[in-house]
Structure 1
Amino acid sequence: MDALDLKERIINDDKIIDVLEALGMHHINPNNSKYITCGMPDGDRINSTVIYTDNLHVDAYTRNIIDPYGGSDIISLVSFINGTYITESIKWLCDVCEYDYYGQEIKKSKFAEWIRDMWKVSQESKDEDSEKLKPLDERILNYYGNYVNDLFEKDGISYETQIEFELGYDLFYHMVTIPIRDELNFLVGVKGRLFKEKVNDDENKYLYLHSCAKSKVLFGLNKTKQYIKERQEVIVVESEKAVMQLWTLGIKNAVAIGGHILSPTQVKKLTYLNVPIVIAYDQGAEIGKDGKVDKTFYPNEFNKFLENQTVYCLYDKAGKILNEKESPSDNPLKWEALYKNKFKVRG
């Protein structure tokens, strides 16, 4: 459930007071039809916080609850009090209100749907994947098992890391399986990698064995979130393999976007981490299918972030370190050299 749907449902179902009570707010006063006043759990003032009942905007006069996008609403209030990431806050609200986080949305009037669609078009790219994340039955992984393999070990992913990321094997397609989990640790997809070193042109090296709305996922965030907070930095790579390679090297603050173009949802999830971002794409990510260099590629990626968001890029400008299509994480020495010379591009 996304933020807009959640807030609309909380308002329609008159769940605002339930949420405030669950948060531990005190002196909750709903006497005004337009807003509710209350005090912070650890505060003395009985009316330090005002929640507007028509849109769930929050004015917190004694606390700075504003999120990276400048928002101050019921979700940012939950994030501030509970110390949670935005997705965790949304899930918490769903649990308190007894909503299914991945379930069906409430039925809206045609006019409400039109208003909401117009808002989304103005806020997000039209190319955003419209498919929603759906949790899969965990028992699916029993079919693939949990096996280590020499192919990945030779590629810089230790056996311990393979076990950590629950790698398995598909006997029918002869593929190493990579479970895809969202930041709440729910299984939302399974990706397969053909079990052979050299892949023919007519073969698919990677294949989703269980489809996934990949533009809505930052692979590895369920495991790396705590290290991102500790390091105060998130490294953004293209592939799931790169996250596991870095994890093997002890670099546990990376996430993968499952491609080389950031989706609006991925940009938002990265921004809400509220730490500097390091873009570390494969060599030649800016080269199009026609073989020509797209000089606007990297600027377009950087411009997806807020102006005040600190963004670095890890890039082999001279092309003397990385081979074509090589990932910076493929070689520890190359990674070290490139990371040392990363440069700021925003913020």
Structure 2
Amino acid sequence: MTAQELKEKLSEDDIRKLLAEMGATFYYEDDDMWITDTICHHGTKPKLYYYKDSESFHCYTECGQMDIIGVVMGYKGYEQEEFQKAINWICIKLNIDNCEYGFGKQEQISDWEFIRKYRRTAKKEIETKPLIPYDKSILRIFQKLYTQDWIKEGISIETMEKYNIMYSTWQQKIIIPHFDINNQLIGVRGRSLVDEDIDLFGKYTPFKVGRRFYNHSLGQNLFGLNHNMKTIQTKRKIMLVEAEKSVFQTDTMFGEDNFTVALCGSNLTDYQRGLILMLGVREVIIALDKQYQTLDSEECKKWAKHIKDKIIDKLSAYVVVTVLWDSNDLLDYKDSPTDKGKETLLRLMDQKIYVGTNN
């Protein structure tokens, strides 16, 4: 029995049992999907989606798209070449015959085509798979209504109109369309305004219409690049923020001089790095949220290491890297550098930490 045959044998109940074995909490269930915490990298956010039609998972924080074997590999900490261990673990947990000791002896495995196929679906390879644009007409079902909460947070109506921000009255969500560098619609995200939904699923989720999710690989785009590319190339610098809202705030502050894009997370993917280098920039400014309360805390050291490992080390060989780091308590805990207004952002820019080029 090949590994592909094993996956074909797994029922929905089997998948559920495996998730339970890994300690998953089911936050949401319907006929189309489940949402659990991100056990694939031992996370706690309800951002691991299982889509029943395609029998595939998508982690919307770090891991991207994968199958059940990929989830197990992440949970167990197996490397790509150790996928056989994940297969064996699945077979043991489900008491599937002839699998406890692997699919026969190692030297007898002949399904090399499956192995090559599985390696092509590893995380790094998925990020290079072309996105299929959606029909922009889907945006007609939403209303041009703008929340006062965002206006109070420094986002103008003009900016929201520019970025096609709308509102879904029946789901009580702010609608955030995502466009690629060629202005093609590649995804639609919803920002919930209902506290119960935020507690369960987080603030931002892919939007669902009927049985269809308008989702995309967030690591395969830089939000706002379609609007700000010209300024980025002219100034030869780019500022990386976490969320779309920060792009809107800087657009309101600087208008056509805005050189900000959002990673939609706190990790820089290889695909995003390629986009940045393609733009010919000389300086990359990292402006992530303040994920520490005091400078002398372990939390602060951990966050600094995360930024170094996930972003700085990927860029410093090619460009000058600087970091906005709040050393003077200008921001509150978990604030973006853009949250306290233009004056505070400019002060942080004046105090940015120079990382330099790693040759």
Looking at structure 2, the residues matched to 307 and 206 of structure 1 have their Cα atoms a distance apart, in angstroms, of: 33
Query: Contact 1:151 / 1:196 at 8 angstroms: preserved in 2?
Result: no
Looking at structure 1, the residues matched to 169 and 129 of structure 2 have their Cα atoms a distance apart, in angstroms, of: 29
The aligned counterpart of 1:170 is 168
**1:117-143 CA distance string (max 9 Å, x none):** 98x89xx97486476422000101101
The aligned counterpart of 1:11 is none
Q: CA deviation at 1:145?
A: 3.4
The aligned amino acid for 1:185 is N
2:279 matches 1:273: yes
SS in structure 1 at match of 2:233: helix
The aligned counterpart of 1:345 is 355
> How many aligned residue pairs are there?
232
- Decide which of 299, 304, 310 is 2:320's aligned counterpart: 310
**1:186-235 CA distance string (max 9 Å, x none):** 00011111236898633532111021111101000000001112222111
Structure-to-structure mapping, 1:246-257, within 5 angstroms: 246-250=250-254, 251-257=257-263
Q: TM-score, normalised by structure 1?
A: 0.60
Query: Contact 2:292 / 2:299 at 8 angstroms: preserved in 1?
Result: no
Residues 319, 169 of structure 1: alpha-carbon distance in 2 compared, 3 angstrom cutoff: same
Query: Contact 2:249 / 2:338 at 8 angstroms: preserved in 1?
Result: yes
Unmatched 5+ stretches in structure 2? 1-110, 208-213
**RMSD in angstroms over aligned alpha carbons?**
3.3
Instruction: Name whichever of 174-183 and 303-312 sits farther off.
Output: 303-312
Looking at structure 2, the residues matched to 117 and 268 of structure 1 have their Cα atoms a distance apart, in angstroms, of: 24
Q: CA deviation at 1:160?
A: 0.5
Unmatched 5+ stretches in structure 1? 1-109
2:232 matches 1:228: yes
The aligned amino acid for 2:324 is L
Normalized per residue, the structure richer in helix is 2
The percent identity for this pair of structures is: 26
- Decide which of 325, 328, 334 is 1:325's aligned counterpart: 334
Q: CA deviation at 1:333?
A: 2.1
Looking at structure 2, the residues matched to 279 and 179 of structure 1 have their Cα atoms a distance apart, in angstroms, of: 24
The aligned counterpart of 1:242 is 246
Query: Contact 2:178 / 2:188 at 8 angstroms: preserved in 1?
Result: yes
Looking at structure 2, the residues matched to 160 and 178 of structure 1 have their Cα atoms a distance apart, in angstroms, of: 15
The aligned counterpart of 2:291 is 284
Q: TM-score, normalised by structure 2?
A: 0.58
SS in structure 1 at match of 2:155: coil
Residues 127, 153 of structure 1: alpha-carbon distance in 2 compared, 3 angstrom cutoff: farther
The aligned counterpart of 1:88 is none
- Decide which of 138, 145, 148 is 1:147's aligned counterpart: 145
**1:12-48 CA distance string (max 9 Å, x none):** xxxxxxxxxxxxxxxxxxxxxxxxxxxxxxxxxxxxx
